[in-house]
Amino acid sequence: MTIATTLDRIPTAVPTELARGRGGGGPAHRRIVVAYGFWIFILSDMIMFSALFAAYAVLSSNTAGGPTAPELFNLRNVFIETMCLLLSSYTCGIGVLSAERGRPTLFLVFAAFTFALGAAFLFIEATEFAGMVATGAGPSRSAFLSSFFTLVGTHGVHVASGLVALVYLVAQVLVKGLRAAVLRRLLCWSLFWHALDIVWVGVFTLVYLMGGHS
Amino acid sequence: MSNPEHVFDDRTPGVEEHEPTASYLSYTVGLGLAIIATIASFIVAQTNLLWPPGIPVGLIVLALAQIGVHLVFFLHLGSGPDSTNNILALAFGVLIVFLVITGSVWIIANLNTNMMSMPAQ
């Protein structure tokens, strides 16, 4: 019996004493271990964001007589930004899944979509920031705006670095092909990109929707 | 499957078999749910569909729901044995995030309350 036909018969509910990750069944696969390590990094990044969220929550009412949240935020733009990031998260997941299933062309198509949507998000955010600074609502205006630019700007920097990493990974796929090491890097990158979308859920809820309302 | 142990010991160390962790369908379901949660958040924030003092709570609930959708459908955190360590690490991360945010808000709110001769915010 070959491994392939045996694997087809693995029951979905693996007995606990044989399950990897619960002390049985031998060491976990490398991609599981690598993804776990990267997951720890993502969680530490989340903890850094939590400090910025806490700073914003504490300082958001200290406007020092300057512009307040409802005067500054354009919720229509925020909605478009949110949809860009959400769809890019989707195309990223589909792209990496295509790569894992050995379809490099499909991966490249979805990587291009992911990059375009991420770049659109960054463009809208940069335009918003430039408009705010031009109207005198820059980060030095009030504690509220300092914490706003720090929180949202840090997220934007993460998105920008994610786009750079995506270009780097696409180059690796083109040069090296879909070998195991490249696939692991792609998996880690998709974790990073999905995590950025989770942070953005917090940003648009706490900063834009709750701030723009009250 | 009379001898399931055979299945797990039959592999040469270092050989990685292909383990599909996800499907196109799960991503699409996740996208649909996330879009619904996002649109609901924006509607709740801009209308009086909810009782107005309850809007922040409603927004937080929708955000938590969407984060859950992302974790399950995009990051594939499930109940399988491969996810156990990830879930435990996530639980610790959530604890720290909770402590940092609620602790800061709580302490500063106390300071603001006890501060004398400050104009009301």
Confidence of residue B3 (pLDDT cuts 50, 70, 90): very low
Query: Among B21, B19, B99, B32, which Cα is nearest to B70's?
Result: B32
Give pLDDT tens digits for B29-55. Answer: 999 999 999 999 999 998 888 888 889
A30 vs chain B: nearest CA distance in angstroms?
A: 8
Distance CA A34, CA A40 (A): 10
Decide if the complex's ipTM is over 0.90.
no
CA–CA distance, B74 with A121 (Å, rounded to integer): 19
Say if residues B105 and A54 touch (Cβ distance below 8 Å).
yes
CA distance A202 to B10: 46
Question: What's residue B66's pLDDT?
Answer: 95
What's the confidence (pLDDT) of residue A64? 84
B32 contact A CB<8A: no
Note the Cα A138 to chain centre separation in Å.
26
pLDDT of A13 reads 55
Taking 50 as the pLDDT cut, the residues of chain A under it are 1, 6, 214
pLDDT in tens, B70-79: 999 998 887 7
A188: Cβ contacts below 8 Å, ≥ 6 apart: A34, A35, A38
pLDDT, position A213: 55
With vertex at residue B82, the alpha carbon angle to CA A20 and CA A181, rounded to the nearest 5 degrees, is 95
- List the structure tokens of A7: 């694997």
- For chains A and B, CB pairs below 8 A equal 153
pTM greater than 0.90 (yes/no): no
Cβ–Cβ gap A47/B63 under 8 Å: no
Average pLDDT, chain B: 82
For residue A116 the two structure tokens come to: 């375009």
Confidence of residue B95 (pLDDT cuts 50, 70, 90): very high
pLDDT for the residue numbered B4: 45
Torsion of CA B93, B96, B101, B102, to 10 degrees: 120
- The pLDDT of residue A192 is 96
pLDDT (0 to 100) of residue B114: 85
Q: Quick check: A28 and B97 CB within 8 A?
A: no
pLDDT at B23 over 90: no
The whole-angstrom separation of Cα A178 and Cα B118 is 62
- Chain B residues 43-102 within an 8 A CB cutoff of chain A: 44-46, 55-56, 59-60, 62-63, 66-67, 70-71, 74-75, 81-86, 89-90, 92-93, 96-97, 100-101
What's the pLDDT score for residue A113?
A: 96
Q: Which residues of A touch B24 (CB under 8 A)?
A: 94, 97
- Do residue A213 and residue B55 have CB atoms under 8 angstroms apart? yes
pLDDT at B121 over 70: no
User: Which 3 state secondary structure label does DSSP give B8?
Assistant: helix
Whether A148 contacts A67, CB under 8 Å: no
pLDDT value for A15: 59
At residue A63, the pLDDT reads 85
Residue A197 sits at the chain B interface (C-beta within 8 Å): yes
